[in-house]
Each structure stands twice: as structure tokens, then as C-alpha cells.
Structure 1
Amino acid sequence: MSEISLVVRPRGRPIKNLPETITVNPEDDAAQIHKKIADASKFSIHRLRVTKGSDGTPIANTKDTTVHATGLRNKSAIDVKDLGPQIPWRTVFVIEYLGPLLLHPLVYYGRPLIYGTSQPPSQLQTITLIMCFLHFLKREYETLFVHRFSAATMPVFNIFKNSAHYWLLAGINVAFWCYAPWAPTAGPSNPLITYTGITLFATGELLNFYTHIVLRDLRRPGTTERGIPQGIGFSLVTCPNYFFEIVAWIGVALVSRSFSTVLFLAVAAGQMAPWGQKKERRYRKEFGDKYKKKRYAIFPGII
């Protein structure tokens, strides 16, 4: 096929050097549209959102779809929006989890300065520290070596919003109330409750890691294409990774006996619920009859 010309229109804030038209071959992959606009405007390819002018349908930056398959024809219009400064998703996750990873030991070992006490931490406070530290250390490991991200970047501003959840709720909130000399964790432990909490935590963390490996292996490196997830937990809920994370934090809550831990768990579950429901809708649409529909998104019998 001969080359076609596409009319390029800015959407929202002006984009300096945005070309009025670009020419592409219909058999080129759709990523060429993004590349030509980025090269001409001198913008990062991840900062631009390209949609069809006719109906606003996003044009994916992918090599799996041709220009012709997107429905674009000669003289078709495409709209380009500047998404603003971007930051890699992996960097955002590392920064998010770094907060509680640093704050828990800081508060635990800084008890004399923070609370004015010479009393040593209790056994429950030490166990709580170990559980929280291991959880976020695992998160960092998964971010660096396990997860594959479908989107390369996100707006820079989102890092403050996303980090607040972990730095404030999981970090300062949980650490301050759990390591205080007046906290429930400062008192004697109930062995049955403590060992139950440790068991739930260890089981939840191991199975959560297992589900992340399963999800990673469903996506080929360098692509966003996924298969249907199968394995432990996937027959019960849409997102067993969320389910097992909740199980792990129920374990932390049993050991810490702190409302601050319950608050973080409740907020986290409230955030994960719509994510799980959205993923269930996506699976049903993407895989059709091949996918076994789930009644619950993240927690059997509840959500």
C-alpha cells in the first residue's frame, strides 16, 4: 500500500513543534505513529496520548497492530494530548515501598527519642517490625525482579498521591502506634493468637509471591499480551494476589493488635476491590467464553 497522510491536532495544552501532518504506511505498526510525532515534537513518546479524531479511541503504542487495523485512512485526523512530565512505574513502586521500609526501623530503634522511654521493645513489637519489614522488602524485590508493567510511565504528580498511602498509613501510622510503650503490642502476648497471626502472614506472603510469578509468566517480555491466569487461588477469586495480601495483613493485625494496622488493611482492601472488579470485567471481555467467570474479585464470599 502507498503511504497515507494523517492530520495531527493538539488536544488540551499546546505542544511545541507538533507537526500538522505525518505520513505513514498502512502496513506499519501503530507504534510508528507515536514515534513520528515524538521525533517531530521532541517529546518523550511516553508523554503523548494519541487518539482517533473520529471517536476518541486510543491508538496504542504497540507493534502488534498495524495502522490500517486501527481504522485510520488517508486524511484521517488524530488528536495528541500532552500528559505532562512522566516517571517510570518501577521507580514509583520503589519509592512507595521505601517509606515503610525505612520508617518502621526508624521508629522502632528511635523509641527513646520519640516516646521518651528506656523500656526495651516487647516481643510482639519485635515480631511486628520483622513482619512489616519483610513484607515491604518482598515488595521491593518483586518490583525490581518480578513485575512486568503494561504501562511504561505515569504522571510525576501521581508519585505523591501513591506514596502517601504507604508512607503515611503503612509507615508513620502503623509504626507510631505499634512501637509505642502504651501500645497493645507492649503487653503480654497470647501465644495462640500470635502464632495464628504469624502463620497467616507467612502463608499469605508466600502465596502472594506465587501469584505474582504466575501473572508475570502470562506476559511475554516486551509485550502487554496476557494469557488466562490459573493456579492456586485463581479458581476462587479474580485477583488472588490481593486476597493473599489481605490474609498476610490480617496476620499482622493479629500480632500487632493495633487499630492502625486494621485501618491500613481496610483502606488497602477498599482500593483493591474496584481494581479487582475492573480486572474481572477485562478478563470477561478479553477472553470471552474461554474465561471462567468469578463471582468475587478479591475475597471469597465478601468482595
Structure 2
Amino acid sequence: MLLTLIFPPPPSIFMAAMSVISFTSLANAGFSELKGKHMQYSKFWNFNSSQKSAEKKQQIPQLSGRTGMLILYAPAFLAALSCLLFFPHHSTRHLLLSSALTLHFLKRLLEVQFVHSYSGGMSIDTAIPISLSYFLSTATMIYGQNLTQGLPEPPIDLKEPGILLFLIGISGNFYHHYILSKMRSKGDKEYKIPKGGLFELVICPHYFFEIMGFVGVSCISQTLYAFSFAMGTALYLTGRSCATRKWYLSKFKEFPQTVKALIPYVL
């Protein structure tokens, strides 16, 4: 069944290794979120960290929240944009993939600059590895697509459903990020229970739509690496969504018990 949905995997040890590494590292990060081990730039890390850990973090050079997030996304955006503008596209699928990844990271950069509100900073030792991870995953996905040149197309073509899922995902993700940005007035750093949109049903609809967007990208690509990355991302964001719900339950006594973590009425 899987072979009807993806290109035949090219004889590339690098791509095989990256598919395994990408999936396992993201899945492990998701399980870590469930166990309470969070990324150091998140509010959950600050909430659960000991005083000793917090003091150690303060000794590392700190970036502003906006600068840190720009560093996270800019290299991946430049990689996707370079592939879109300067490298030949051997197929419509290759062009669509480069365009989708460019649009995805352009949206993130614009949100960082004009939409998001920041309640804290980011240490440089956190920003650099995450930035490298985004850059490598973007470049690897496009490189993997390039290796499909000359290979037979998958029997089931998922390009059009992929485009639809990607556009719904990126639009829904932006809309709910916009709702989050409007929850605080200027200078306000207090967390509040989100309201509006799908926040009435789940605490992380932005993650739900981000997963949808990456599933769309994997359908456009139809390579083993793209599907591995999408599945790993889904597991990571599921773990993070559950951690987010747990955090809100611990911080707000009035948090509605009916609001799920990621999938309305289910999870």
C-alpha cells in the first residue's frame, strides 16, 4: 500500500538515514514533551524548571524572543527560496514543493515580525540547533525530491489533495496565531485562556493546522523522507499539545475540561 503512495526510494544511504533520524528525533521530542521535558524557550520549561536550572540558563547569552525566532526560520526560508529561484525544476511536483516550503517559512517570518507577542527570550544554544534542524529538513526534503527525477510516478497521485491540505493548514495556522496575538494588550505578558475559532474545542488548533500543512507538503512530495518528517512532526506536536493542555489545567482552575488538546472531541 505504501509503495502506491510514494516514489520508489532512491538508492541513497543519506536519504534513508535522514528519514529514520528525522522521524525518531521528532517522535522522541514529542514523548519528551509528554514526560515534562520541554524546549528551553517555552513557557512550560520556565514553569517546570528548578531555580538552579533557571540560573544556569541566565548564564548563557540570551536573544530577544523576536530575534531568536527569526534565527530559527531564516536559514530554512533562504534554502527553500534559493531552490525555488536558482535551481532547475525537473517537474511540477518539484516546483510545488519548493514553493510550499518557501511560503511556509515566509509566513513564519512575517508572523515573527508582525503578529506574535513575546513574553520571554531565547538562549543562543537553543536557537542554533533548532535553526539547523529546520534548515537541514528543508534542504533534505528538496534534495530528496530532486532524486526522484527519472523514477516512475506513484500509482496514486496526491499532488492536488496535498495542495488543498497545505493551503487549509497554512491559513488555519495563521488565523489561530492571529487570535493568540490579540489576546494581550501592548506590554501585557500574562497568559490567558484562548477564545475564538477552534480554541473553543481544542487548546492547540494552530498545531492541528500545522500538522495538516505538513501532511499536505508530504502529499505534494510523495517521498519517503517527506512522509517521515510529517509523521514525526505530528507526533511531536501531539506531545506538545498534550503538554500545553496540562499546563493550562495547572495554571487556570476555570479551564474548561471539555476542551481537548489537539483533535476536537477526541484528543
TM over 0.5: yes
After TM superposition, give the deviation of residue 81 of structure 1 in Å.
7.8
Quick check: which one's helix share is greater? Answer: 2
Report what 1:158 is aligned to.
Answer: 126
Written as runs of structure 1 = structure 2, the 5 A alignment for 1:45-60 is none
Out of 186, 192, 197, the residue aligned to residue 162 of structure 2 is 197
Provide, for residues 136-164 of structure 1, a one-character-per-residue CA deviation record: whole Å limited to 9, x for no partner: 1000000000001121x222211222112
Written as runs of structure 1 = structure 2, the 5 A alignment for 1:1-303 is 82-108=58-84, 111=87, 120-151=89-120, 153-169=121-137, 171-182=138-149, 187=153, 193-288=158-253, 290-294=254-258, 296-300=260-264
Shift in alpha-carbon separation, 1:300–1:89, aligned structure 2, 3 A: same
**SS of the residue 1:177 aligns to:** helix
Q: Distance in 1 between matches of 2:133 and 2:57?
A: 29
Provide, for residues 197-250 of structure 1, a one-character-per-residue CA deviation record: whole Å limited to 9, x for no partner: 111111111111110011111122212213321222223322000000101111
Shift in alpha-carbon separation, 1:92–1:209, aligned structure 2, 3 A: same
Tell me the TM-score normalised to structure 2 length: 0.71
**1:104/1:129 contact within 8 Å kept:** yes
Structure of larger gyration radius: 1
Shift in alpha-carbon separation, 1:105–1:82, aligned structure 2, 3 A: closer
- Identical positions, percent: 29
**SS of the residue 2:175 aligns to:** helix
Q: Distance in 2 between matches of 1:80 and 1:130?
A: 41
Taking only aligned residues, the RMSD between alpha carbons, in angstroms, comes to 2.9
After TM superposition, give the deviation of residue 165 of structure 1 in Å.
2.0
Shift in alpha-carbon separation, 1:188–1:278, aligned structure 2, 3 A: closer
Report what 1:51 is aligned to.
Answer: none
After TM superposition, give the deviation of residue 98 of structure 1 in Å.
1.4
**1:97/1:166 contact within 8 Å kept:** yes
Higher RCO, Cα 8 Å, sep 6+? 2
**1:100/1:172 contact within 8 Å kept:** yes
Q: Distance in 2 between matches of 1:95 and 1:212?
A: 19
Residue identity matched to 1:156? I
Q: Distance in 2 between matches of 1:189 and 1:205?
A: 27
Q: Which runs of 5+ in 1 are unaligned?
A: 1-55, 61-78, 113-119
Shift in alpha-carbon separation, 1:145–1:81, aligned structure 2, 3 A: closer
**2:61/2:124 contact within 8 Å kept:** yes
Provide, for residues 54-112 of structure 1, a one-character-per-residue CA deviation record: whole Å limited to 9, x for no partner: xx779x9xxxxxxxxxxxxxxxxxx8984321112211211221122111243455557
Tell me the TM-score normalised to structure 1 length: 0.63
After TM superposition, give the deviation of residue 259 of structure 1 in Å.
1.8
